[in-house]
Amino acid sequence: MRYNILWIDDDYKTQEDFISFAEQLKIDVTPFESHEEGMISLDSKPNFYHAVILDAKVKKGKDDTKTGVAGLAASRDLLIEMNKDIYLPYFIYTGQPDYMENEMFSQSYGEFYTKGDDNEKLIRDILESCQKQPEIQARKSHPEIFLSFDKNILPQSSKKLLIDIVQNIENKNYAKKNLTTQRDLVEAILKSLNAITCIPDSFFSDSMNNKPNLELCVMFLEDRDTRDGNGKIHKLNKNINKSIKAAFRKVKESTNEFSHLKDEDVVKYPFISNTFLLFEILIWLPEFAETHYKNYI
């Protein structure tokens, strides 16, 4: 797979050789000239970037005319806060001669890489850090289940749900609270099917979270006559394998059945069963969407 790297550096246009070198090693670099622009991209593309490169002196705001360490500090502080929940490594890559032997800079910001001299080392360290990320580990064992994300059928913001499920199955963490993660992934799949016009809007709430009515959505995917809240009957009339219909039904019922349990209670076999049924659904989804709703993806 290829890795997506965010680079914040007002002088990136002079580093075309570095970008080309990275691309040859399956690293796609998305550059921005300021802390503000880089963080906007990071926020708008959750779970998209695998690492961040920061310049020592950079513009903090996109309309700033001067560079300084304030932009670096702002990006560093935000990334530290983010890394409490996700693993997103960052690397300081600078050509500033006044920082090369500045002990205070090193103590404040840690290891940094020198432009020109450390290009290969930086790329090598980025690749090594990417290999440690939960998503990369999950892709190694189950690459097919990420195809819906790669094809933009499912939003990147839902990818963490799948990664958590894979980690829990591999770590043998069968706590009941993880069934909630499975249900959330089912809801994300149903929302995506609604977004490509497969499932009617009337099966979803009018609130901001657009929450699906699980029973109506599953009935509809079972290709049954399904009456919405307004009394209108809908029918899918699309070919879905019986096993996929059964998978949606089983996961829906299972994630509801144990709602009375405490979060720490163990539900080993329902969680294991649901996990692999979800994998089946995720492997089925791209072909179904591209066959029947290609214009909406």
Q: What is the tens place of the pLDDT at every residue in 177-199?
A: 999 999 999 999 999 999 999 99
159: left (phi over 0), alpha (psi -120 to 50) or beta: alpha
Residue 85 pLDDT = 75
Single-letter amino acid, residue 60: K
Predicted TM-score (pTM) of the model is 0.81
Residue 56 pLDDT = 87
Scan for tokens 């440690």, then name that residue.
132
- Which of 59-73, 220-234, 267-281 has the lowest average pLDDT? 59-73
Checking if the pLDDT of 106 tops 70, the result is no
Checking if the pLDDT of 208 tops 70, the result is no
What are the helix and strand counts (H, E) for the chain? 13, 7
- Mean pLDDT across the chain, nearest whole number? 92
Scan for tokens 């049954």, then name that residue.
224
How far is residue 275 from each of residues 124, 134, 279, measured CA to CA in Å?
A: 34, 17, 6
Checking if the pLDDT of 99 tops 60, the result is no
Residue 112 pLDDT = 85
Integer Cα distance of 277 and 269 in angstroms: 12
